[in-house]
Amino acid sequence: MITIKSPREVELLRIAGNVVYKTHQYLKPFVKEGITTEELNRLGEEYILSQGCTLSFKGYEGFPAGICMSVNSEVVHGFPSKRKLKNGDILTMDIGACWKGYHGDSGWTYAVGDISDDAKYIMEHTEKALYVGLEQVKPGNRIGDISHAIEEYAKEHNLGVVKELCGHGVGTDVHEDPEVPNYGEAGTGPKLREGMVIAIEPMLTMGSPKVFLHENNWTVETRDGSLAGHYEHTVVVTKDGYEILTGEIKNG
Ligand code: MG
Ligand code: MG
């Protein structure tokens, strides 16, 4: 069931989203060669809790951490570990925070030191695909318009679209209806209405879009080992467009 959020609920979602945004900003300077993803997760969890929020992902269907840490060919749901980041890696941190029962959800891919041209390419164009999808968000448009725009952008840039995972509604549950796939037909799917809150999150690959699931039953990685990018914002549909609830994250 797709719910329409009241202005009061949107305000709570805005606070949760802002904490997610601030956690990204807080962690960004720590994303450097030599740090472990476990340490980054610890810092992020502490920061979220210091803001009075709870961790949306920790314990969610058994997920063990507050932040998903996915490196290079890992697409999403990487477990924080003792793995040390190396110069040239890319790291996706997917962060969730909950304020008074309402969630914010935003993933972003970061460069570790000097990265390859391929890594720059997947980062640049997955981020752009997110904004191309966002341009479709306004009352009267349909979910399929977002999906189609992202898929077309990925095709134009020779990137693979991971189809096993998609965006979603956000509210009192971190994953609500509707699903927001990163591929599909324009003009299809649920109509967007003012007060709907959705997370849009293209997950694109440099090579084949085929993925496999790790034995931990969570981590999704490209089968051919190619790099993956993942950029996500939680947004509310407004009278004539959208408002990003998880802030404007700048790379670099
Ligand atoms: Mg999400
Ligand atoms: Mg996320």
Q: What is the mean pLDDT of residues 182-192?
A: 98
Ligand nearest to the CA of 107: 2
Q: How far apart are CA 170 and CA 183, in angstroms?
A: 20
- CA–centroid distance, 203 to ligand 1, in Å, is 11
Give the pLDDT mean for 204-227. Answer: 98
Q: Which ligand is nearest to the CA of 20?
A: 2
20, 96 Cβ separation under 8 angstroms: yes
- What distance in angstroms lies between residue 188's CA and the mean position of ligand 2's atoms? 24
User: CA 45: distance to chain centroid?
Assistant: 17
For residue 20, the CA-to-ligand 1 centroid distance in Å is: 12
Average pLDDT, the chain: 97
Task: Give the three-class secondary structure for 73.
Answer: coil
User: Please, which residues have CB within 8 angstroms of residue 152's CB and are 6 or more apart in sequence?
Assistant: none
Query: What's the whole-number mean pLDDT along residues 76-83?
Result: 98
Overall pTM surpassing 0.95 (yes/no): yes
User: DSSP string spanning 162-225?
Assistant: --S--EEE-SSSSSEEEEE-SS--TT-SPBP-TT-EEEE--EEESS---EEE-TTS--EEETT-
Q: Ligand nearest 97 Cα, by number?
A: 2
Rounded to the nearest angstrom, the distance between the alpha carbon of 232 and the centre of ligand 1 is 7
Mean pLDDT on 194-198 = 98
Place 80 in a pLDDT band, splitting at 50, 70 and 90: very high
The reported pLDDT for the residue numbered 248 is 75
Task: Report d(CA 104, CA 245) in Å as an integer.
Answer: 8
Tokens of 214: 């790790």
Cα-to-centroid distance, 214 and ligand 1 (Å): 19
Ion ligand 1: residues, Cβ under 5 Å:
105, 199
**Ion ligand 2 residue ranges (Cβ < 5 Å):** 94, 105, 107, 232
Confidence (pLDDT) at 251: 52
Distance 113 CA to ligand 2 centre (A): 24
pLDDT in tens, 28-51: 999 999 999 999 999 999 999 999
Q: Are 225 and 211 in contact (CB under 8 A)?
A: no
Distance from the alpha carbon of residue 252 to the mean position of ligand 1, in angstroms: 23
Asked if the model's pLDDT at residue 232 lies above 80, the reply is: yes
Query: 13-48 burial, b for 16+ CB within 10 Å, e for fewer?
Result: bbbbbbbbbbbbebbbeebeeebebbebbebbbebb
Which pLDDT score, from 0 to 100, does residue 252 have? 43
- Residue 205 CA to ligand 1 centre (angstroms): 17
For residue 247, give the nearest of 129, 138, 104, 120 by alpha carbon: 104
Ligand nearest to the Cα of 67, by number: 2
Cα 201 to middle of ligand 1, angstroms = 6
